[in-house]
Copies of this chain bind each other. A is one copy, B any other.
Amino acid sequence: MHPVSLESFTKKYKTLLEERLRDAVGSLETPENLAKAMLYSLEAGGKRIRPLLVFAVIDAFGKDPIHGLDAAAAIEMVHTYSLIHDDLPSMDDDDLRRGKPTNHKVFGEATAILAGDALLTLSFSMLADMPEEAALATVKFSLIKGLSVAAGAAGMVGGQIADMEGEHKQLTLEQLEYIHLHKTGKLLEYSIIAGAEIAGANEVQKKMLAKFAYHLGLAFQIRDDILDLEGTEEMIGKPIGSDAMNEKSTYPALLGLEGAKKALQDHLILAKDTLNSMGLQVDVLSQITDLIGLRNY
CB of A123 to closest CB in B, whole Å = 8
CA distance in complex: A110, B86 (Å): 9
Contact residues, A112-150 vs B (CB, 8 A): 113-114, 116-118, 120-122, 124-125, 127-129, 137, 140-141, 144-145, 147-149
Determine if A172 is an interface residue (Cβ-Cβ < 8 Å).
no
Determine if A109 is an interface residue (Cβ-Cβ < 8 Å).
yes
Cβ contact within 8 Å between A28 and B154: yes
Given contacts A85-B117, A118-B153, A137-B137, contact A165 B124 (CB under 8 A): no
The contact of A114 among B110, B145, B160, by CB within 8 Å, is: B160
Closest B residue, CB atoms, query A118:
B153
The contact of A148 among B38, B88, B121, by CB within 8 Å, is: B121
Q: Which residues of B contact A122 (CB under 8 A)?
A: 148, 152-153
Given contacts A34-B157, A113-B85, A162-B31, contact A144 B128 (CB under 8 A): yes
CB of A146 to closest CB in B, whole Å = 9
Chain A interface helix/strand/loop/mixed: helix
Cβ contact within 8 Å between B149 and A125: yes
Copies of this polypeptide in the complex? 2
The contact of A90 among B108, B151, B153, B161, by CB within 8 Å, is: B108
The contact of A152 among B121, B145, B154, by CB within 8 Å, is: B121
Determine if A8 is an interface residue (Cβ-Cβ < 8 Å).
no
CB of A279 to closest CB in B, whole Å = 32
Cβ contact within 8 Å between A90 and B118: no
Determine if A5 is an interface residue (Cβ-Cβ < 8 Å).
no
Q: Which residues of B contact A38 (CB under 8 A)?
A: 153
Determine if A158 is an interface residue (Cβ-Cβ < 8 Å).
yes
Determine if A29 is an interface residue (Cβ-Cβ < 8 Å).
yes
Q: Which residues of B contact A118 (CB under 8 A)?
A: 152-153, 157-158
Given contacts A28-B153, A35-B153, A157-B118, contact A125 B148 (CB under 8 A): yes
Determine if A277 is an interface residue (Cβ-Cβ < 8 Å).
no
Residues of A within 8 A of B (CB): 25, 28-31, 33-35, 38, 81, 85, 88, 90-91, 108-111, 113-114, 116-118, 120-122, 124-125, 127-129, 137, 140-141, 144-145, 147-149, 151-154, 157-158, 160-162, 164-165
9 closest A-B pairs by beta carbon, nearest first, are A90-B109, A121-B152, A30-B153, A125-B148, A118-B153, A128-B145, A30-B158, A128-B144, A137-B137
Given contacts A114-B157, A125-B149, 7 further A-B contacts (CB under 8 A): A29-B158, A90-B109, A121-B151, A125-B144, A137-B141, A140-B141, A144-B144
